[in-house]
Structure 1
Amino acid sequence: MVAGHPGSAGPRPSGEVPSDPDLRPIHTLRLSCDKEVVSLMQGRTLRNSVTSLYKHLCVRHRQQWLAQSSEYLSVLKKFLVPGTDPSTITHQLPPMVPVPTPKWLLTVYAQDVLSRLEETKARITSIYGAILKMDSTKKVTKKLAGAASGTAAWATNVGNEFGQVLISVLTAGEGEGLLPMCVKLMERYQRAGEDPPQLLYVDQDCCSTTGKAAAMFHAWDQLVVRLDVWHFMRRLSPMTATSCTASSWAASPSASSNGMQRMWPRGQAVGAREAPRSRGHLTDATSSSRPTAKELAWHCRHRTHGAQASEELIQELLEDFMDRTDSMGIRLLDQEKMEDIWQT
């Protein structure tokens, strides 16, 4: 593991360097670390932190030290022969060299990342897509600490239809502040000989081909810019709520409209019902039951109804709620205000 410690592959002779680059240890000022330990830090998850790796190494090193100590004491018996003074043989065990701190492990991991930086950059910049989505958030920039705190206001990501991130930047503002990012993205497609994307989903500036989002990607003249369905639902819900005369009923049309935007494909939904039966999770008595929302999310993918079908469904929903009243006979929706909002 850590070179020079119990549990490692053994001390390497001075000047000997393995021919295979994957087997070469990572050297620091006083210690060196085996590549096997570094590979354990690559899959960082919620329960796989550097601290947990440090505790695991401590346990492994202590077990190895105890095994070597037991072997050391067993070897001492061979020197207890007639005529030998037992006082000259020491029974004191050699101390176990402590495992380096988690901070040192992070330093080693950072050096390993820097050694393959060009390869990592090549993999990241080799991702493309025909359907892109651009979104900005402030949640990431609020977590910046130290010297980087307060240096950025927005974190903008551009992803493709497979959920892969093409580019991610930190900026002081949206709009024209994202122009260098858009230029680099267009140049990447051009240098790689990839076809320009066909569709771009954004959270604003989507209502015309001459909007800001379309202007930033000026080299892609065939690019269609549309509003993301999630942001559409977030805009429609508060507008619907403002036209409600009773606050307790404000969530009813909003929640119904949210459910109308997405649907489960019929073929995938049938597959979600048959999958538990094939695994033996359903009996004959429960095989006709409908799959739960979690089962649908596991086997299916959401898709939208489309612009025309969504418009018709929302129109039917508004017409259905327009004439409804509460227990006091008061209309749930202000008809004049709702019609003006829907027309806009």
Structure 2
Amino acid sequence: MRRRGLGNSSSQLQKQLEEQHAETWLQKSIHFMSHQRGFARAASTGLVEPLNFGELPTLLTVPKHRWLMRVYAQDVLSRLEEIKASITSTFGRVLKIDSTKKTVRKLAGHSRGTAARAANMGNEHGQIIMSVLAESEGHGLGKMVEGVIRCYHDAGVSPPEVLYVERDCCGSYLHKMIRAWQNTNICLDIWHFMRGTAVGCTTDSHPLHAGFMNKLSHCIFMWDDRDLQALKEANRAELEAKLVHPTDLLRNSRAEMARHCKRTTRSSSGDGDLDFGSD
């Protein structure tokens, strides 16, 4: 239950336990009856004294999914201090503030409809440092930033180098909030920069919108050369273990590159200039 996810609910776990429990019981029952038959044959020939094995043990029921959830809740409570320590000790040198509506749509009960957006602050490793629920976009960010600054100060961690935001990167409001981090640069997130550029050219429904965004992404990002070279050497070693003469015609797939390689932004000089090409 510690690795709960989509398709791994308590009900699904209870069904899997029932299936495995019944399968194990059947195997043990067959083993029990086979030995019972052997002793019965030996007793009929006079080799051993007759034995009373008794009735076959009945199949015990598996606890319900509510019992599993109760045990899991007790396990979480026993690790509460450890979880708090792991959350509050998460820092980073590159932070990003982003808001979404997907989280608040999952609220149910009395909490449903009490928030419009969820603002998250994460680091370069994809870890969430702090998250708040707000009534509107941009509301409540001041307290969140103050809390993160206080955590950095209390832990004695140096301030982050860059803070990426989705809007108002040049405004004075954010600069006032992080005045304690004087050396931290506030930059606009590249994805929102691309979206803003695409709005001035076309719309999402335009047939060339996907191609334009692909070209724009290629102009901004480039794959890390060292990671690409390491991936090529790993694939070549794998081919050499399977084939006699691996060919150079095999190219790395985009999924492999996204899994094992980093992407960096191109420089503003040389072959890294923003050039949309002849298309």
Cα shift at 1:250: 5.6
Q: Deviations over 1:31-88 (max 9, x none)?
A: xxxxxxxxxx2122445432332123223433565537975995x98xx9xxxxxxxx
Q: Structure 1: where are the runs of 5+ without partners?
A: 1-40, 81-88, 322-344
Distance across 2 between alignment mates of 1:286 and 1:47: 41
Partner residue of 1:270 out of 229, 235, 244: 229
Aligned letter for 2:232? Answer: R
- 131-140 or 251-260, larger mean C-alpha shift: 251-260
Partner of 2:102: 139
Partner of 1:222: 183
SS at match of 1:170: strand
Q: Deviations over 1:290-336 (max 9, x none)?
A: 32212322331111114x359x844x439x67xxxxxxxxxxxxxxx
Mapping 1:17-166, distance limit 5 Å = 41-63=1-23, 65=25, 67=28, 74=36, 95-166=58-129
Q: Structure 2: where are the runs of 5+ without partners?
A: 44-51
Does the CA contact (< 8 Å) of 1:141 and 1:152 recur in 2?
Answer: yes
Distance across 2 between alignment mates of 1:94 and 1:252: 67
1:193 aligns with 2:153: no
Cα shift at 1:204: 0.5
Task: Call closer, same or farther: CA 1:300–1:249 in 2, change over 3 Å.
Answer: closer
Distance across 2 between alignment mates of 1:295 and 1:90: 60
Partner of 1:203: 166
Distance across 2 between alignment mates of 1:250 and 1:123: 42
Q: Deviations over 1:92-122 (max 9, x none)?
A: 6564442111122112101110121111010
1:290 aligns with 2:251: yes
Cα shift at 1:219: 1.8
SS at match of 1:132: strand
Partner of 1:21: none
For normalisation by structure 1, the TM-score amounts to: 0.66
SS at match of 1:241: coil
The number of residues matched between the two structures is 262
RMSD after superposition: 3.3
Aligned letter for 1:182? Answer: V
Cα shift at 1:90: 11
Aligned letter for 2:222? Answer: M
Cα shift at 1:181: 1.2
Partner of 1:167: 130
Distance across 2 between alignment mates of 1:110 and 1:256: 49
1:260 aligns with 2:228: no
Mapping 1:1-16, distance limit 5 Å = none
Cα shift at 1:274: 2.2
For normalisation by structure 2, the TM-score amounts to: 0.80
Cα shift at 1:151: 1.5
SS at match of 2:141: helix
SS at match of 2:2: coil
Task: Call closer, same or farther: CA 1:187–1:96 in 2, change over 3 Å.
Answer: same
Aligned letter for 1:303? Answer: T
Cα shift at 1:158: 1.0
Cα shift at 1:272: 2.3
Cα shift at 1:130: 1.1
Higher Cα Rg, which structure: 1
SS at match of 1:174: coil
Aligned letter for 2:226? Answer: G
1:299 aligns with 2:265: no
Cα shift at 1:217: 2.1
Does the CA contact (< 8 Å) of 1:277 and 1:283 recur in 2?
Answer: no
Task: Call closer, same or farther: CA 1:150–1:156 in 2, change over 3 Å.
Answer: same
Distance across 1 between alignment mates of 2:143 and 2:170: 23
